[in-house]
Structure 1
Amino acid sequence: MDGAHSTDHGGGHRAYIGSFTSGGGRGVLTAAVDPATGALTPLSAEGSLPDPSYLALDPATGVLYAVSETERGAAGAFRPTAAGLAPLGAPAPVGGSGPTHLALAGGRLLTANYTSGSVSSLPLAADGSPAGPPAVLEYEGRGPDPDRQAGPHAHQVLADPTGRWVLGVDLGTDAVRVCAPDPATGGLRVHATAALRPGSGPRHLAFHPAGAVVYVLHELEPLLTVCRWDADAGRLDPVGEVAVAPAGVRDGVRAHPSAITASPDGRFLWAAVRGTDTLVTFSLAGGPEEPRPTSTVGCGGHWPRDLTADPSGRRLYAANERSGDVTWFDVDPRTGRPVRAGSLPAPAASCVVFAAP
């Protein structure tokens, strides 16, 4: 299954699966994707980077980037080859602790550093590898939850569709910061801050494909906040909230939403919820600002840390961390409801990204 002994059964389509090596994961797993069924076939594993919990792919170069979610914090880069993933140099320190998310913006690599509550911006060398010292933006503040919000906790960083702005989600201070690149340093500076419900713990956001609406998913409260996005002004304005799961503890289980994704055609949203181990579908038939929950199904495992739609939007893939699998679902084209179609064992799975076919 590993290295040069692997065989590609997927017609050239690829998926990459991140995992926690500290939890028994094999690092970054490369899998072939059957274009007809969406089934995953494991090809190889690259285990040189500790805890590559989140991945991002540069579609222009094919380079795959991964955080190393460790106390010291680093980011690595890999070049796909016929034998698997080849590291591009040594992992680069990000200048922050516990990076949980990364993204490309303005020719630089950005990481959201959860433990230290900061966002780092790293320059890239000609081969695509992170190089040089990072520019670090330190968040400030706290929230009302004494256990989870004693300080800032950056959980996601993402460029807006125009590429002019970077949005940073801070679970620790219940805020989304709109940042602009600093041309002098290559780092980020805060342009505006959107304050969200105190104690809600925003974790991840997703843009509607049309670009003018943002959906913020909260971890500490099972809640989805709908925001208008003004790309000209760089402004994010909350306009509504929708429950993702029942609030509080039910039957001894508390809901912890983890990931949100929108269908490429803009008709549906899907959210993964840990604790209840469910996937929730929202219809956008009433418009992008009016998500309506329409179905809830099991995630196919335990503790869905990430949820990804394939490029066609016809399938969803849940990375179930604690059950150690990636489960895929066919999406009903009329209702958006996911229907379980298969599963791949993947210990401590944490995310899935797709290479363009």
Structure 2
Amino acid sequence: MTKVAVIGATGLVGSTILQLLETKNIEISELVLFASKRSAGKKIPFKDYELTVRELTEAATKEPFDYVLMSAGGQTSLHYSPLFEENGAVVIDNSSAWRMNPEIDLIVPEVNHPSLDRKIIANPNCSTIQSVSPLKILQDAFGLTRVAYTTYQSVSGSGWAGIEDLNRGERGEDPLNYPYPIYDNVLPHIDDFLENGYTKEEEKMIDETRKILDLPELPVTATCVRVPVKSSHSIAMNVTFEESPTVKEVKQVFRNKPGITLKDDPDHLEYPMPIDAAGKDDIIVGRIRKDNSLENTFHVWSVSDNILKGAALNAVQILNQLLKEETK
């Protein structure tokens, strides 16, 4: 008997988690939904019945949950996740609150496994997830010595507010979420600027890549950009290897890998685009070519649905990973 709670069940990621728990047939015996006070009482269909959303309170953390899927923001997670943990639940958190805590596992199931030294597991940044999955394959095959990212991130990375700003811009209305219009525009910053000129989003990608790949000294840099696309992020990765593979060899390592689809045929204009990834589980890679300006360096283009593999799907896969471990 497995009792699961979803926190933030009415948000973009939380509602997607519910869809995945249903469509992926995750083996749970009881599901309880929580959200803010204003969403309490809302009815949400699940399988062949309805669930009533409850207000998240400290009293709820004392209930006997086995797993808690948390998608309610960093401050909420910092307060409530340890309370659930104290009562024996394993918390899988989608915020940035715990990712760089050295006691907390930062997990992408195709890349690493939780140690559960603490019963809080962090879901990485959406862009990091779709980067480290192909990077782990490259690391194992050729060794990594440097990574440079440029991201092209869709507005759904900002939740419902980002989608609304894109829709408002299309109607000629001013944005409510972003500092400038996103419609027919790109914004060369995501999250707040830091003193070193990088943004928090860029710093997250740098730090999380090193932690997940267990390469604390790996040189990593990033530029993160918001683009007027509703769904799915795109990332240009410039990767330097220890070895000197051919383009054919780099493409070959991606074939038949779980969670990865290779789409790379320039002669027929076949390459990954956000429209290909929207609603799909897999990370799609392509545009693989040698960087003629640096030794042992290649360009790799990655696209992925940021709400699925970049958030909700990864969290559900972590849950499924843990449930399978229980049955061994």
Same fold (TM over 0.5): no
Determine which structure has more spread, i.e. the larger CA radius of gyration: 2
The structure that is helix-richer by fraction is 2
The structure that is strand-richer by fraction is 1
**What is the TM-score when the length of structure 1 is the normalising length?**
0.30
The answer to which structure, 1 or 2, has the higher relative contact order (CA under 8 A, 6+ apart) is: 2
